[in-house]
Amino acid sequence: MNLKEKYAVITGASLGLGSAFAKVLAAQRINLVLISLPGQGLSRLAADLSEAYDIKVSYYETDLAFKQNVISLCKWINQHFNIYMLINNAGLGGTKKFTEATVQYIDSIMQVNVVATSLLTHQLLPNLLRQQQAYILNVSSMAAFSPIGYKTVYPASKTFIHSFSRGLSEELKDTNVVVSVVNPGAMATNEDVCRRIKKLGMIGRLTLLQPDKVAARCIRKLVKRDRVIMVNPWSWLAIVLLPIWIKLPLLTYNIKKEIG
**Under a CB-based contact definition with an 8 Å cutoff, are residues 166 and 181 in contact?**
yes
Report which of 141, 188, 192 is spatially closest to residue 163, judged by C-alpha positions: 141
| Single-letter amino acid, residue 68 | Q
Q: What is the average pLDDT value for the chain, to the nearest integer?
A: 91
Tell whether 1 is covered by a domain.
no
Residue 95 lies inside a defined structural domain of this protein: yes
List of the chain residues with pLDDT < 50:
1-2, 202
Q: Which residues contact 116 (CB under 8 A, 6 or more apart)?
A: 11, 64, 65, 67, 70, 88, 90
Exposure on the CB side of residue 135, measured as CA atoms within 13 A = 23
Q: What is the pLDDT of residue 189?
A: 62
CB 255 within 8 A of CB 150: yes
| Max intra-chain CA distance, the chain | 53
pLDDT of residue 2: 47
Query: Strand (E) positions, the chain?
Result: 6-10, 31-36, 57-61, 82-88, 134-139, 177-182, 228-229
Strand partners, 198: none
pLDDT tens-digit series, residues 87-119: 999 999 989 999 999 999 999 999 999 999 999
Sign of the torsion formed by the C-alpha atoms of 150, 154, 160 and 166:
negative
pLDDT at res. 163? 98
Helix (H) or strand (E) holding 241: helix 233-241
The parent domain of residue 35 ranges over 6-256
Q: Report the domain count for the chain.
A: 1
Could you tell me which of 1, 62, 61, 53 has the C-alpha nearest to residue 31? 53
The CATH number that applies at residue 210 is: 3.40.50.720
At 72 the pLDDT is 98
Q: From residue 78, how far is each of 74, 83, 172, 188 by CA, in Å?
A: 6, 8, 20, 33
In a domain, 56, yes or no: yes
In this prediction, residue 167 carries a pLDDT of 98
pLDDT at 233: 79
Cα 248 from Cα 250, distance rounded (Å) = 5
pLDDT tens digits, residue range 193-215?
656 565 555 455 556 788 999 99
The pLDDT of residue 204? 54
Q: What is the pLDDT of residue 203?
A: 52
